[in-house]
Amino acid sequence: MNNKIYKIIFVTRILVIISVFTIFIVAINLPQNSEHEEVEQSSTEEALSLEDYTLVQRFYIDMTVYYVNDVEKQMDTTPIIKDGRTFLPIRYVAENIGAHVEWHPEDKNIIISLHEKTVRLWVDTTIAYVNDELSEVDVAPFILEGRTFIPVRFVGEKLGLNIQWDSDKKELMLLYKG
């Protein structure tokens, strides 16, 4: 029985290595963009007013204060920009929209669920699963000072949020229709 388990683990690891290698090859051929505000444009170009959303969250780079529907809240860390992407601990986004977050420290796995949508990420890898389908994250989640930071745009959009970036204010706005 132990041999079967070891064989399953071995095959799973091989498949993960092949997937990582494939994603790496694809990533090498992707166009690069060095300007944060260009990268952070909303991929959903909806011209909707804020009144069209039930929840508006505003986060600011290097600030622990954030706003949920104009109510000031406090974080124990700040959103940061790394590799041209905005990162923050997902709980600040997820809890406000009613999403469920699971952290599995044994394999550094994060699972975020909202209604019928599920996003699964691993720290320090660009492999993700969105509703059980393999997906690629262009920048990997990471741990900093004991906190797990995730790429906000990737997760937010997969959960159905509209993401806006204001480079002058260094403001990340997450809009949710709920």
30-51 pLDDT, tens per residue?
434 333 433 344 444 444 566 7
The per-residue pLDDT for range 121-159, each reduced to its tens digit, is 999 999 999 999 999 999 999 999 999 999 999 999 999
Q: What is the mean pLDDT of the chain?
A: 81
Domain limits, the chain: 1-30, 34-176
Tokens of 96: 């406000």
The per-residue pLDDT for range 70-116, each reduced to its tens digit, is 999 999 999 999 999 999 998 898 988 999 999 999 999 999 999 99
pLDDT at 160: 92
| 63 CB-near residues (< 8 Å, 6+ apart) | 78, 79
* DSSP assignment of 144-174: ETTEEEEEHHHHHHHTT-EEEEETTTTEEEE
The per-residue pLDDT for range 66-75, each reduced to its tens digit, is 999 999 999 9
Q: What is the CA radius of gyration of the chain?
A: 17
Give the end-to-end CA distance of the chain in Å, rounded to a whole number: 47
Tokens of 5: 């388990």
d(CA 171, CA 59): 6
pLDDT at 90: 87
Q: What is the CATH number of domain 34-176?
A: 3.30.457.10
pLDDT at 41: 43
